[in-house]
Structure 1
Amino acid sequence: MEYVAGNVANKAGVRLLMACLLAKLHNPLVDVRKPYTRIGGSDSFSGRKYDERYIADFINANALPCNSTSAFLTPAFRNRNAPLVMGLELEGRPPQLYTYVLELLDDVHNRRVEPENLLAEIIRWLLINRNEQQQRIESLLKTLRTTHGAIPLSSEAIVGLIEKHMSLKGTSRIPVLIVAAAYQAAGQYLLEMNLPLQAHNAADVQTGALGDVEITFVGDGKVVTSYEMKDRHVTRGDIDRALQKLEETRKRVDNYIFITTDRIDEQVQDYARSLYTQTDGIEFVILDCIGFLRHYLHLFHRVRTEFLEAYQSLLLAEPSSSVSQAVKEAFLSMRHATEAG
């Protein structure tokens, strides 16, 4: 249980266990190993319903280190119609986690452990892990505050810091935070602001958003610029899908901007430019992420520190499912080293 609850790489197992245990406590007649109604019979149940309706709110209310989305949407636990019994081959890593999950479900089914005891112990360990993570962040922030008061970092030093941070594994969310922080820091001069960010894994179809970051005039809900982030090169198909979204939502923007961390294909860039007349004045463009950041920081040089603080706040506020604890801690350490140096 401690291994499952404390696994940094995969949080699906602990969330599935919590949903199944809650269902068992709610209705002792169900088989804790059968969280799929398609199995049939009076002892099966919808684990996803318990997960999304009850476990999700509990996780969010207590800031527990778990996935922000249902465990039943992960490949290992999605669209199954058979009990989760020992020996079942489940797709996912690490394999040991899934072995332990099946063993724990079997322990509950065979009354070797009571569901309320296991659920209480899982929550206890999640709280321990949460508090330890918060303490590490607070310690790093305290260390970082010791360098405050020195000369502010230059625009180029900030670019170097964030570029180094982006080179880490698991930083695909970073371009979204860069653009959002840019508007938060310079919004008073632009008279524009970004709308609240959607979850990193939320589909545009579900949220109704055009892109990853939507910009509107202050005091006006109309979206004037939409940013879509790609950790690969932008294709013509990406632009065509953007056109389709604009048509389906009947929204009109001034700019639809793709931000990429990969190369920019000139033919695709030319295609994007050609749409201005076709769309009656909507500009499509593809920008390099670091190039965008560098130009922004020099254009708004006097708010570079405000940008860095906004970026840090957004980073630390992200759920661990989109930005891991390790990536957050690494940024604070990198910033301290850059400022101290």
Structure 2
Amino acid sequence: MKTFTYTRASTVAEAAKRATPAGAMPIAGGTNLLDLAKPELINPDQIIDITRLPDLNTVTRTSDGTVHIGALVPNADLAAHPLIRQHYPVLSRAILSGASPQIRNMATTGGNLLQRTRCIPFYDPAARCNKRTPGAGCDALHGPNRMNAILGGSPSCIAVNPSDMAVALRVLDATIHVTTAAGTTRTIPIADFHLLPGNTPDHETRLERGDIITGLTLPPPPPGRQVYRKVRDRASYAFALVSVAAIIDADPTPDASPHIRSARFALGGIATKPWRIPAAEAALADQPLTRDALNRAADLTLAGASGHGENDFKIPLARRTLTHVIAHTARNPIPMDPSGAT
């Protein structure tokens, strides 16, 4: 690991200013940053410890039902928080589906949003990777790409976004709060936070140098049952091959197909950012649950999907997972456990 200097910030404004120079990086849980620094996939000159920043480790609810989550809330604490379990079980379940208990105890809300891809060439210093070294090329396109994206990629990059939490936040329409190096604040909708790779896959989010995530807000939960389903190679501590975060508001009718009043769903494990297509959701709104309706929604969600060899299987797997989750949730609108998730 390259030698670096270590400082501790006592205020958000101080952290933002110290994080502005090239080579300066803030650290909270460090579960991903240290992964990358040890093999020198990144080489920070300065690490700014933000773990002591005040007022960033709470979860609060306002009178209008909005919930604010501080950027330093550990993933484990967020998943277990009564407000989240009761009102946003899809988020609780998504977090519990990711990483290991030890990592969830350390990883933070803000850090989870910024975790880097798990693409094999990205982690191999001998491989070509435009995300790691702009202009180098992409060895995943015709190489080891079983875990890579079938949607949202480009000739420069097909690295998949690895976050379970971000998929749930996408279906919940979260808003991210940022403090800049100039001391101003701004908000970024989760839909706009992660960038498609295009020709600049090294630019992964809307954050600018010196920006510090201070927290995020969730609007009041929409009606319907919330579900997070993750398909992976093993039962724990594995990244998603396909995941679905869904909120389905349905009216079951005896001896007939349920009527879907509204549907929200986002997919993970298959795209370069959490994948949500409003037109696919609209195709199910105010419709009976039929095979044709499910197929239309899947067609719209997966329009343009393209495999690259090893990950070709993700296209039919994503279709089956999405349609099963929607159908199962619509037919079983009452939560099956206290958290409201499956």
TM-score, scaled to structure 2:
0.23
As a proportion of its length, which structure holds more helix?
Answer: 1
Larger radius of gyration: 1
TM-score, scaled to structure 1:
0.23
